[in-house]
Amino acid sequence: MNMNFTDWKEYVQNMRTSMSSVKSLSFDKLLLLPSVVYITVIIGVPALFLAYLTVTQDVFSLFLDTRFVGLENIISVLTSGDFWLFTGNTLLYTAGVIGIGIPIQLGIAIALNTDLPYRRVWQTLLLIPWTIPFVISTVMWKLMFIPEFGVINHLLIEVGLIEQQIQWFSGTGTAYFTAIITTIWIMTPLGTTILLAGLESIPDNLYEASYIDGAGLWNQFRHVTLPLLRPALTAVLVIESMLALRGFEIIYTMTRGGPGRSTTVVAIDIYRQMIRNGNAHYAAAEGLILVVLILIVLGIIVKGLSSDTELEVE
Amino acid sequence: MGLWERINQNQALINQLHRAVAIVVLGLVLIWLFFPILWALETSLKTRAATVASPPIYWGFDVQWQNFILVWTETALPTYIFNGLFIATVTTILSLILGVPHAYAISMYQSRLGDASLLLVTITRIVPPITILVPIYFIFSSLNLINTKVAIIIAQTAFLEPFVVWIVKGSFDSKSRSLIDSARTDGCTKFQAFYKIMIPVSLPGILSATTIAWLLSWTTFLSVFLLATGPQAQTVPVGVFELAQDTFTPWNLISAAAIIGIIPSLAIVTVFQKYIIRGLVEQ
């Protein structure tokens, strides 16, 4: 083995560079490793277990004896008529929340996008409903909706809009309404804050320029505000629809999924299957399908708001 | 010239109208947002009979301050509050310890591991909690960890830490790399650059993440509802939920519990309002 001196020098230099790159790699890897390990374990292991639960069924009892059933669990969820009822309920609820809620939040944000005094004060006040635990907010609204002694019925009667007490929790449509209104109430701070921040980031001179070009208020809105608000709008839409699609506690506290099962959403059914029926495999499969459902809706939203579509405003 | 055209042409007039509309809208929105809270407060001060009065009583009733004492001593509310405070604080601290370095690493350095970890963080934020709680419930159940605060902390940290990474990364991203470079040429080690330079500079962003993470943990329902079955580990949202489901508990007490449950939220918002807004917008 005859290595001459130049070879040796090269060898040592190569070692040095690779070692120092290993060293500089090590620092940032050291920083992120604990976090990555933690997430991988605490989320990854259950995720794997979820996959396992989805494709197996009990022979006698959980963990002890299961047999591989492939897609059977998923198919049994998809072919159960109930599941489609729950999916429809979930979509209806979500549509109500974002269809009614976001225009309201946008309207509020537009109205407030001006030089108002005491900014810190009212911004803090506006934020408060978001920071209250959802269950507590729902309980407060439930108190107002209770038929005989709730304020809402009373106010409606006083104003003359209705004559008899509305039985909010006995009818499907009204039960939805209670859940949707409560959710919108809870989400208002979130949507308004994000949209307001988005509106404020639009430079004034753009409005001036369009004004000089002859654009009135409405056209300014269409061609300056809306396009530039797109990122904020997308963010609000994504956040709120995701919250609504996986929503559990608001509806469960308000209506328990009733009357009957007419407001039961997918999340509630997963809970029932898991805890009441102990049916881990069905619940797991259902949970998986919920993820797919959310991804589909997310995809539709992002596609619908991508840069190549015109924001039509009527 | 019609009114509309005249308005359109006068920018100052538009601004004045805008302000007027803004004040009206703000007033309406504040009423809309605060009426339920005030009504709950009113209800919590009524006697049991007064709460079921039809039509409802708006004023002139006997104020029962003792309802608050009653709900504090007769229910497990103090325990719920303690549990909530404990869980929220530990979860937040843990999430910060794990998340801030992670955010720094992804923000300041390039590596495949870093990119992969960012993907992992993003995926975790999209997964619906209920879906991942199904296996978590069964795993903890077989480990006999149901109804322990530890289990809830572990689960919540898994959900909240990616969130912290996301917000803090955004904060680091907006800081200039030259800060670190000049520190390094002055002789700092990488680690010193991290905790002596970057962290103090990014403190607002980190505080945002801290506040929101704490609030999210304090207010979270599902993880506690599924993983806790008794007062050892239950927190305020679950506690109020149980109270409201119990047909024997009168509404004045339920409302009193609700009001007490709001207080930490209100305190945090008032003090950290700036950071919360920042954190919300960073999303």
Query: Is A163 near chain B, with CB under 8 Å?
Result: no
Tell me the two tokens of residue B125. 């934020």
Q: Which of B6, B29, B118 to mutate to test the interface with A (most CBs of A within 10 A)?
A: B29
Gap from B127 CA to chain A (nearest CA, Å): 7
Same domain, B58 and B94: no
Judged by a CB distance cut-off of 8 A, whether residue A64 touches chain B is no
| Same domain, residue pair B59 and B160 | no
Using the Cβ of A43 and the Cβ atoms of chain B, whether some distance falls under 8 Å is answered with: yes
Task: Give B-chain residues touching A137 at CB under 8 angstroms.
Answer: 36
Amino acid of residue A263: T
Residue-wise pLDDT tens digits, B159-204: 999 999 988 888 888 877 777 777 777 777 777 777 777 778 788 8
Q: Which residues of B touch A122 (CB under 8 A)?
A: 26, 30
Is A109 within 8 Å of chain B by CB? no
R_g over Cα of chain A: 27
CB contact under 8 A, B226 and A288: no
Yes or no, beta carbons of B101 and A31 under 8 Å apart = yes
Domain ranges of chain A: 5-54, 80-304
Query: Do B14 and B109 share a domain, yes or no?
Result: no
Among A28, A118, A148, the residue to mutate for chain B (most B Cβ within 10 A): A28
Does the pLDDT of residue B36 top 90, yes or no?
Answer: yes
Q: Does A135 touch chain B (CB under 8 A)?
A: yes
How distant is the Cα of A232 from the closest Cα of chain B, in angstroms? 9
ipTM given for this complex: 0.87
Measured N-to-C along each axis, helices A226-245 and A280-304 cross at an angle, to the nearest 10 degrees, of 170
- Of the candidates A45, A49, A108, the beta carbon closest to that of B29 is on A108
| CA–CA distances in Å: residue A99 to residues A134, A250, B276 | 20, 18, 26
Of residues B197 and B27, more confidence is placed in: B27
Question: What H or E segment, with its residue span, contains residue A167?
Answer: none
One pLDDT digit (tens) per residue for chain A, 314 residues = 555 677 777 766 666 655 555 455 577 777 788 888 888 888 888 988 888 888 888 766 555 567 787 788 888 888 888 899 999 999 999 999 999 999 999 999 988 888 788 888 888 888 889 889 999 999 999 999 988 788 888 888 888 887 788 888 888 888 999 999 999 999 999 999 999 988 888 887 887 787 777 777 777 787 888 888 888 899 999 999 999 998 899 999 998 887 888 889 999 999 999 888 888 888 999 999 999 999 999 899 888 876 544 444 43
Q: Are residues B123 and B161 in the same domain?
A: yes
Crossing angle, helix A172-200 and helix A81-112, to 10 degrees? 40
In this structure, are residues A142 and A254 in contact, taking their beta carbons and an 8 Å threshold?
A: yes
Q: Looking at chain A from residue 84 to 103, which residues have their Cβ under 8 Å from any Cβ of chain B? A: none
Interface probe, candidates A25, A31, A74, A289, chain B, greatest B C-beta count within 10 A: A31
**Mutate which: B134, B144, B218, vs A, most A CBs within 10 A:** B134
Of B23, B101, B261, the CB nearest to A35: B101
Q: What is the mean pLDDT of residues B141-153?
A: 90
Domain closes at, from B67, B93, B114:
B67
Kindly determine whether residue B131 and residue A50, on different chains, have CB atoms separated by under 8 Å.
yes
Q: What is the DSSP letter of A58?
A: E
Residues 171-230 of B with CB under 8 A from A: 190-191, 194, 215, 218-222, 225-226
Q: Which of B53, B158, B221 sits opposite A43 (nearest CB)?
A: B158
CATH of the domain at B181: 1.10.3720.10
- Biggest distance spanned by C-alpha atoms of chain A: 105
Task: Give the per-residue pLDDT at A221.
Answer: 80
**Pair (B219, B182) in one structural domain:** yes
pLDDT, residue A314, reads 34
Last residue of a domain, one of B67, B91, B106: B67
Neighbouring residues of A295: CB distance < 8 A, sequence distance ≥ 6: B126
Put simply, whether A295 touches B (Cβ < 8 Å) is yes
- Report the domain count for chain B: 2
Residues A127, B276: C-beta atoms closer than 8 Å = yes
Residues of B in contact with A204 (CB under 8 A): none
**Domain stop point among B22, B49, B67:** B67
Shared-domain flag, residues B148 and B86: yes
B18 chain-A contacts, CB cut-off 8 A? 111, 114
Contact B152, B87 (CB under 8 A): yes
Q: From CA A137, how far away is CA A145, in angstroms rounded?
A: 13
Residues B56 and B129 in one domain: no
Query: How far is it, in rounded angstroms, from Cα B31 to Cα B258?
Result: 19
Q: Do B138 and A141 make contact, defined as CB atoms within 8 angstroms?
A: no
Q: Are residues B57 and B165 in the same domain?
A: no
Domain residues for B28? 3-67
Q: What is the 3-state secondary structure (H, E, C) of chain B?
A: CCHHHHHHHCHHHHHHHHHHHHHHHHHHHHHHHHHHHHHHHHHHCCCHHHHCCCCCCCCCCCCCCHHHHHHHHHCCHHHHHHHHHHHHHHHHHHHHHHHHHHHHHHHHCCCHHHHHHHHHHHHHHHCCHHHHHHHHHHHHHHCCCCCCHHHHHHHHHHHHHHHHHHHHHHHHHCCCCHHHHHHHHCCCCHHHHHHHHHHHHCHHHHHHHHHHHHHHHHHCCHHHHHHCCCCCCCCHHHHHHHHHHCCCCCHHHHHHHHHHHHHHHHHHHHHHHHHHHHHHHHC
Give CATH superfamily name and number for A80-304.
MetI-like (1.10.3720.10)
Those of residues 104-143 in B touching chain A at CB distance below 8 A are 104-106, 108-109, 111, 113-114, 117, 120-121, 124, 126-132, 134-139, 142
Tell me how close the Cα of B65 comes to any Cα of chain A, in angstroms. 19
SS3 A87: helix
Cα B166 from Cα B99, distance rounded (Å) = 9
